[in-house]
Each structure stands twice: as C-alpha cells, then as structure tokens.
Chain A
Amino acid sequence: MAPDPIPARHVPTLECRNCGAGAPVDEHFCPQCSRILALGRHGDYFSFLGVPRRLTIDPAQLERRFRDLSRQFHPDYFYNASPSERLASLERSSYLNDAYRALRNPISRIEHLLAIEGLPPAKSEGSSAGSGQTVAKVPAGLLEEVFELNEQLDEIRESRESGTDAAVLRDRLDSARKPIDLKREEHERKVELLSAQWDQQLDAGDAAAKRATLEALRERLLERNYINNLLATIDREAANLEARADSSVRL
C-alpha cells in the first residue's frame, strides 16, 4: 500500500509513547523502556519480519519467525497493559498477520516486493493515465494461443447448442486447454528463474540490472493474470458441459 521506498535502516523514526525515546522503524519494542511500540506507517513486510528481501524463502523458517513474533505481539499478552500498548499490540499483530500471509505465498511475495520497490503491479505499462484498466492488453507472448483458444471455445459453444454429445465436447475442451497449460508451466519456470536472479542481484547486482529484473517480474505477473483468466474461462465452459450432462440424466 505504501509505494514510497523505505527509509535507510536504523534511522530513528518511531517515538515511544511511553518514555518518548526514539526507535528505529523496524524495532518492535522500545530500546529504552522495552514497551511495545506503536506501529506507525510501516510499509515493508520483509524488514518487519526481519528477513532479507529475497524471493526464495524457507517456509519453515518464515513460519518460525511468524510464531516468534506472534508470541511477542499478541493481544492476549497485553490484556493488563495500558490502552496505548493494547492498541500497539493489536496493530502489530494485524500487520504481522498481513505480512506473513503476503510473504508465505510466492506470488503475493513478488507483488509486495514490486510495491516496495516502487513498481506497483496494478498499473499496466501501456495504459495512459485515465484510461480504464479493465481493457487488459493481451501479453505479446500469448497472442497466438489466445486467438486459437477463442476460436475453439466459440466452436464448442456452438456445438453445445446444437446438441453435440457432451463427452465429445469435453475431449475437445481438454485439447484446447493443453497449450494454455503448457504456457502456464513455462510461465512458472520463468518466474522461478527471475526470482533466483533477483536474489543473486540483491547482494551483487547494480541498480539498473535489478530494475530490469523487477520490470520483467511485473510483466510476468500481468501474463499470469491473463493465463489464469483463460484457464478460468475453460473451467466455466467445462462446468456448463457438466451441468448439461446432469440435466440430461434427470430427463
């Protein structure tokens, strides 16, 4: 949600409401009086959880971190605390839960990375400001498949209306699905590759190379949405066939 790049680490930006001491933005408890700190406007799930900004994360390690922090923040343990500490506990716990959910899933992890690196994925690069984002541009690598699929789906719908046997149509739908499934697999491989590339560049890469990787990742996410929509369309058509098969049994 906060597209601003994060401030450099260990700049005191939080103020303890209990003792007034300053605290680095990624601290959870006041270094002076050890009370829980108000959340403020934190925007970076990686630094909040205290994990490096990598796309390859060991799920077990992330989960342990989540449990550790839950044990520190949870409102259960602040029942007798002051109202401001109770609020801080509520805010930190909520934020922790959001952060864990976002980083646990590899795709939402990429989305969050893009957001904090200043490349929010929602803005499609071709669309000028003001034009509706609903007109999704077909990603270049998919043009051929999309064209082919739409043609086949039209044929299947026509045949369905003219009463062709459901089993035949199901076979045709399966074969129409195959190229999209292949695209999806290819897409997964590319995302994995780019993710690994980002992790390598994180320590050694120059700014321009990192930027290029992030932009490539953003392109992949747009492509992913498109592929998923295509698969959903095929599933809907399959459900239509099933529904028709059901009703014919009853008759």
Chain B
Amino acid sequence: MGKVVGIDLGTTNSLVAYVRDGVPHVIRDASGDALVPSVVSLGEDGTFFVGREAQRRLLTAPSRSVYSVKRFMGRGIDDVRDEAALLPFNVGGQPGGVVRIGLDDREFTPPEISAFVLRELKQRAEDDFREQGEFDFEVDRAVITVPAYFNDAQRTATRDAGRLAGLEVLRIVNEPTAASLAYGLDQRDRGIIAVYDLGGGTFDISILKVEDGVFQVLATNGDTHLGGDDIDRLLVELVLAEIDGSKDEAAIGQSAAVGRVLPSRPAEEIQAIRKAVIEAKLDLTEAEEAEIRVETLAYRRPITRAEFEQLIRPLVERTIQPVRQALADAGLEPSEVDEAVLVGGSTRVPLVRRLVSELFGRTPHSELNPDEVVALGAAVQADILISGRREMLLLDVTPLSLGIETMGGVVSKIILRNSTIPASGREMFTTGVDNQTSVDIHVLQGERELADDCRSLARFKLRGIPPMPAGLPRIEVRFQIDANGILSVAASELRTNIAQTIEVKPSYGLTDQEVERMLIESFEHAQADVDARLLIEARNEAESVIHATEKSLRRPNFAEIAAVDLQAGEQERIEAALDAVKQAMAGSDRDAIRERTHALNHATQHLAEVMMNRGVREALAGKNVKDV
C-alpha cells in the first residue's frame, strides 16, 4: 500500500498535505511555495504544463491555457455559457451534456483538466516522500476537498478527476469542515463554530458544533459561483472601461451587476490586465493605496482601498444571505456562535474581515494560513481514515435536498438539506398502465418546488417489473447518500421481491464507461507525460545554469576577473557553450538540452571556482583569524 495525502483542489490554487507523527504538514517546493496554481497549459509541441509554468503561459499562450476549471466541474454548457464567454480558452459541449474544453485540436472534460493538477500534486508529494528516504513513496490514495455547497454532480466529477489521476479517492470532504478539523487540533474544547470560506471561485458558510472531538455540521450554505475570481473580473472590467475611454463609473457598476460580456480584446491583453489587477488587489490588503500597472498597454492607474471596497461591496455582501440562512437552519442566533474562522485567500480582503466581524459580533480567527488550512484538514481526515484513530470524528451534512419528479413536474423531497450524512431515504412507486414493465424516475437536487428549477442529477429507468395490473406493483426505491455526499440508488419490487436493474444516466457527469476510456487514454499518454516531465526538468536545470552563468558574466568587475584569473579563450568558450544551450532551449530535444547544459557546466567549472575563491577572500577581508 502506498501513501495517503490530503488535497485541496482549489479554483485558483491547489495544494497537498499529509500527516507525519500526528502533525499535518503542507508539502512545499524547493522555494518554500505550497501553492500549485490550478492552471493547465498545452504546449505547441503537445507537452502539458501545470502550475507555475502554466500560469506564466496564461500571458503568452492564453488560448492554450486553462484556469478556474473548478467552476465547470459537474456542470453543463447551458449553465456556464455566459461565464465561458469571458474566458480566453475554448469552452463548448453539447446542449444538455458536460462542458468540454478545447485546447488546440484536442478536447477535454473538466475532470480531465483537474486530473492534470492532481497528478502534479501527486508527483510533488512522491518527490517529497522520496527525499525523506521513504522506501515506499508512491501516493495512491487521497482525501480531496470540495466546497460544502457542491452538488452531487460536482462531487462525482471531483472523484472522477481523482481516479483519472491514479488516485483512489478515500473521501470527498467539505472545505469548511476540513478547515475546522485543522483548527480543532489545538483547541479541542466545545462550542459553536462558524467557518466562513471565501476562496477563488466559491463561497461556503458552515455552522458546526464541536463536542468531545465530534465535529458535527449543523447547517451549511453557500454560493458555488462567488469568489476572488469575481473580484478580479470587476477590476478587469474597470480597467477595460477606462482603456476604452468610457470613464463612466456608473456604467462599470452596472455591467458588474448584469454580468455584461467583456468587449472582445486579444486574450493576451485580458490576461495582462488580469495579472495587474490581481497584484493591485493583493497590495490593497496591506496598503491604503495601490497602482494597477499594465506595462504592455502603457496603462497606469492608482486605486485607493476605499475605491476598491466600494467596487466590491455588492459582491462581498452576497455572502450575508447564505450566512443568515445557515444560522436559521441551525436554529441559532449570530450571538450564539462562539468562534468564527476565516478560510480561503479572499478572506484576506480587509472588507471581508470587517463584514465577518460585524456578522458574528466577534473578531474572526485567522491564525492558520487561510490558503493552507483546508489541505491540512484534508490530511487530518486522511489520517483518521487509514489509522482508525477515534479521537476525532467529522459528521457532515448534505447541502441540498434530494427529491424526485412527480406528477405535474413537482419535486417530492426525499432527503432534506442539512441532513447528517450518510443519509438514506425511500419512496414507493407503482405503474400507471397494465403490464407496464418499466418506470422512469428523475432525480433532482435543490430547494425549489418545481423540477425545472432544481438540478437534474440523473434519470433512472427501472426495468424488469413483473407484468401486473396498473397500480399493483410496489416498487421501493432506496436513495443512499454516502459520507462523501454522493448518491446511489437501489430498487426492488416488494410483492415479488425482485431486485430491479437500474440504468443510470447522469445528467451532467461522466458515465463509468467514459471514465474507463479516459483512464485507458491517460495510460496511453503516460509515456508522453513522463517524457514531458523529463523535458521540463531538463529545461529547468538548463535555465538555472544559464542564469548563474549570465550573472557571473554580467558582474561589473568581470573584465578584471577575466584578465587576472581566466585562461586565454576561456571566456569565449563559455559564451559559445551558453549560446549552444540557449539554442537547444528553443527546441524540445531533451537530450540536446541536457548535453549542452552539461557542456556549459563543464565550461564554467573553472570560472565557478574562481568566483567562489574571490567570494571567500572578500568575505574574509578585514576580519582576523579569531573571527573566522
């Protein structure tokens, strides 16, 4: 058996954590960075880039680079058409089917794109385990988090993504609940906790009761389309409106309200603006004033925090209603909440903090890094699952009611929202026509009365009903929501005790066969993916050698060094080797890049020694032996 990790698969960034000696740790790269941008980019030569590298390509190859794919998980093209119009990459799909993302001449579903991010995290964790000298470093299982307000289709899509990445998904855990587990580690006292989670793309509020190590969710609510992305979009629209000459502030506010489609501009420009506004937004967390600077468009604009807050206030205030609803569902007043906890990068925005303080009448907790706390909690849950430790137990709820369509398109609810999971429900069916041998059932999720206003989860056909007069068969359909919040259905005819076969057609998901096919394809691509990774590694190594060499060559006293310490022609040899590596970097021949990198390394070996000796001499100059 391999290793188990906890993964926060975020809209903007993802990260991976695991528990060592009872303490959860986030896995960081060499530079100490834990966040892997949830961006996937297809290179011109067919290689895939994931994370930072892909994020850089948002500027240079926007139409081949996918971000915020989490917004499309488990959704149909009809759900996302407006939003897709704002994105520089191709979003399509059949009406009534899953979203498909076009990259070059290939098509991907959102779970396939997410699987790239998951593979990167898996790889990162395996590298980490290997570095620690673990003999068995393979990561084959994971707990993955999702927004609490994700519906069945979105959860299933997340699980599919895990499978496609070669991970057995032990558990889908709600992000706010995971965060509370991470917080619960040191403060194991009892009380009511409100977790306010505003991330890149989603908002969740969960109200929990903690007692004796049991973390019981009382109610949850949220908005799966509200987050930092929306703040960025408002700022991008502000900049675009100004560039286009319309300085009418009112028009900007209005466009935000109705979600007007952005004027068509080159994707490169939109991405450059997006990058600039994100930087300004981050600056405004600490500073009272910042500047939006888009170098390529020669655009500069100061923005004060007051101006920023006025712009985003309507967005932030959209979180109030879900908070009120969750409290009402839990049967609590805001004053009964003992602790409020902030989760998600967008809770760094000062306006958000003020709003949460006002809502609960207390200063919220933010001791743990809001970007990392969910992954830490996922790692804790993974540890509970594999170790069987019973000190802590998480009891979550289903965020949305589950029902079936009945006569006249009305929904009959079978499992109510905020029911503790696992939860089950049953419903009796019969036939309407003599000798009818099958019955169609439409499963829905949502709070509205009419089927058309709820989320269609699946259509089932019950077959094999024994021929009987109409109304006589007693078919019991059992619905089971498991601890992941994912639904399964079973049925039997009670008079004859015959189990019914059920054909599942998920409304906005992948069938098992589709997932299988994708898995096979991903194995076929596995060799190509390994090659791609090796190429990236070779490139990274080459880049660092180039960087170090150029740094030496550019030193102001290099001429003097060359004259004193280098042999005749040595500088020319180094420059030639440097050019050779750069040439190889333009192509994608991994062996050539590595060979020339080694050649450059060899050519600069003497120079490196010279520089190091000089460095030591300089450092020691003026110090006596006793200090050394």
Interface residues of A (CB under 8 A from B): 1, 67, 70-71, 74-77, 79-80, 90-91, 93-95, 97-98, 100-101
Q: Is the CB–CB distance between B214 and A90 below 8 Å?
A: no
Does A90 contact B419, Cβ atoms closer than 8 Å?
no
B170, CB-defined interface residue at 8 Å = yes
In the bound complex, CA of A98 to CA of B421 (Å): 9
A94-B424 contact, Cβ under 8 Å, with A67-B214, A70-B393, A71-B214: yes
A-B contact sample (12 more), CB < 8 A, given A95-B424, A97-B421, A98-B424:
A67-B216, A71-B393, A75-B482, A76-B171, A76-B393, A76-B394, A80-B386, A80-B388, A90-B482, A97-B423, A98-B423, A101-B420
Complex alpha-carbon distance, A1 and B214, angstroms:
29
Structural contact, A97 and B422, CB atoms closer than 8 A: yes
Q: How far is the CA of A100 from the CA of B393 in the complex (A)?
A: 17
24 A–B pairs (Cβ distance < 8 Å), ordered by A: A1-B426, A67-B211, A67-B214, A67-B216, A70-B214, A74-B393, A74-B483, A75-B482, A76-B393, A76-B394, A76-B483, A77-B390, A79-B170, A79-B385, A80-B386, A80-B388, A90-B483, A93-B422, A93-B483, A94-B480, A94-B481, A97-B422, A97-B423, A98-B424
| Chain B residues with CB under 8 A of A93 | 422, 483
CA distance A75 to B388 in the complex (A): 10
Q: Is B384 part of the contact surface with A, judged by Cβ < 8 Å? A: yes
Give the tally of cross-chain contacts (CB within 8 A).
54
- For B385, list chain A residues within 8 Å (CB): 76, 79
B212 close to A77 (CB less than 8 A): no
Which residues of B are found within 8 Å of A76, using beta-carbon distances? Answer: 171, 384-385, 393-394, 483
Q: Which of A67, A77, A91 contacts B388 (CB 8 A)?
A: A77
Complex Cα distance, B218 from A100, in Å, reads 13
Say whether B368 faces chain A, with CB atoms less than 8 Å apart: no
Chain A residues positioned under 8 Å from B384 (CB to CB): 76
Query: With an 8 A cutoff between CB atoms, is B395 at the interface?
Result: yes
Q: A79-B385, A90-B422, A94-B422 are in contact. Are A71 and B170 (CB under 8 A)?
A: no
Q: Does the CB pair B395–A70 fall under 8 Å?
A: yes
The answer for the CA separation of A102 and B482 in the assembled complex, in Å, is 19
On chain A, the residues within 8 Å of B423 by CB distance are 94, 97-98
Q: Which of A67, A76, A90, A97 has the most CB of B within 10 A?
A: A76
Per the 8 Å Cβ criterion, residues 382-435 of B in contact with A are 384-386, 388, 390, 393-395, 419-424, 426
Distance, CA A77 to CA B390, complexed state (A): 8
Residues of B within 8 A of A91 (CB): 424
Query: Chain A contacts of B171 at CB under 8 A?
Result: 76
How far is B211's CA from A100's CA once the two chains are assembled, in angstroms? 16
**Is the beta-carbon distance between B422 and A79 smaller than 8 angstroms?**
no
On chain A, the residues within 8 Å of B393 by CB distance are 70-71, 74, 76
**Contact residue among A79, A90, A94 (Cβ-Cβ distance under 8 Å from B386):** A79
Q: Which residues of A contact B482 (CB under 8 A)?
A: 75, 90
Set of chain B residues within 8 Å of A100, measured between Cβ atoms: 420
Q: Which residues of A contact B386 (CB under 8 A)?
A: 79-80
Tell me the complex Cα distance, A97–B421, Å: 7
Name the B residues within 8 Å of A101 (CB-CB): 419-420
**Complex CA distance for A67 and B353, rounded to whole angstroms:** 33
CB distance B422 to A75 under 8 Å?
yes
- A67: chain B residues within 8 A (beta carbon): 211-212, 214, 216
Q: Which residue of A lies closest to B170 (CB)?
A: A79
Q: Which of B214, B216, B419, B483 contacts A75 (CB 8 A)?
A: B483
What chain B residues lie within 8 Å of A90 (beta carbons)? 422, 480, 482-483
A13 to B501, CA, bound (A): 29
A79 to B385, CA, bound (A): 6
**How long is the Cα–Cα vector from A71 to B211 in the complex, in angstroms?**
12
Give CA–CA (A79, B143) in the complex, Å.
13
Q: How far is the CA of A71 from the CA of B390 in the complex (A)?
A: 7
Contacts of B390 in A (CB 8 A): 71, 77
Q: How far is the CA of A79 from the CA of B386 in the complex (A)?
A: 7
Q: How far is the CB of B558 from chain A (nearest CB, A)?
A: 62
What's the least CB distance linking B544 to chain A, in Å? Answer: 43
> How many whole Å from B126's CB to the nearest CB in chain A?
22
Contacts of A79 in B (CB 8 A): 170, 385-386, 388
A97 touches B170 (CB 8 A): no
Closest 4 CB pairs of A and B: A94-B424, A97-B420, A94-B422, A79-B385
**A-facing mask of B212-229, CB < 8 A → 1, else 0?**
101010000000000000
Cα–Cα, bound, A79→B381 (Å): 12
CB distance from A76 to the nearest CB of B (A): 6
Q: Complex formed: what's the CA distance from A70 to B396 in Å?
A: 12
In chain B, what residue has the closest Cβ to A67? B214
Docked CA distance A1–B424 (Å): 13
CA–CA, A213 and B216, complex, Å: 36
A97 touches B214 (CB 8 A): no
Tell me, rounded to whole Å, the shortest Cβ–Cβ distance linking B368 to chain A: 23
CA distance A80 to B1 in the complex (A): 12
Residues in B whose Cβ lies below 8 Å from that of A94: 422-424, 480-481
- As a 0/1 sequence over residues 10 to 51 of chain B, the CB contacts with chain A under 8 angstroms (1 = contact) are 000000000000000000000000000000000000000000
B1 to chain A, nearest CB (A): 10
Please measure, in the bound complex, the distance between the C-alpha atom of A98 and the C-alpha atom of B385, giving whole angstroms.
23
What chain B residues lie within 8 Å of A97 (beta carbons)?
419-423
Residues of A within 8 A of B214 (CB): 67, 70-71
Residues 448-483 of B, flagged 1 when their CB comes within 8 A of A and 0 if not, give 000000000000000000000000000000001111
Q: When chains A and B are docked, how far (Å) is the Cα of A118 from the Cα of B422?
A: 28
Nearest B residue to A96 by beta-carbon distance?
Answer: B420
In the bound complex, CA of A93 to CA of B483 (Å)? 9
Chain A residues in 8 Å Cβ range of B216: 67
Closest to A87 in B: B480
How far, in angstroms, from A156 to B609 measured CA to CA in the complex? 96
CB-CB nearest in chain B for A100: B420
Specify the chain B residue showing the minimal Cβ separation from A39: B424
The residues of B that contact A74 with a CB separation of less than 8 Å are 393, 395, 483
- Docked complex Cα distance between A94 and B402 (Å): 15
User: In the complex, A97→B388 CA distance in Å?
Assistant: 21
Q: Give the shortest distance, in Å, between B626 (CB) and chain A (any CB).
A: 62
A100 to B423, CA, bound (A): 11
Shortest C-beta distance, A242 to chain B (Å), equals 17
B 345-385 contacts with A by CB, 8 A: 384-385
Chain A residues whose C-beta falls within 8 Å of the C-beta of B422 in the assembled complex = 75, 90, 93-94, 97
Closest A-chain residue to B209, C-beta based? A63
Nearest CB in chain A to that of B388: its residue: A77
A94 to B480, CA, bound (A): 8
Q: How far is the CB of B477 from chain A (nearest CB, A)?
A: 13
Complex CA gap A79/B482 in Å reads 13
Q: How far does the Cβ of A117 sit from chain B's closest Cβ, in whole Å?
A: 21
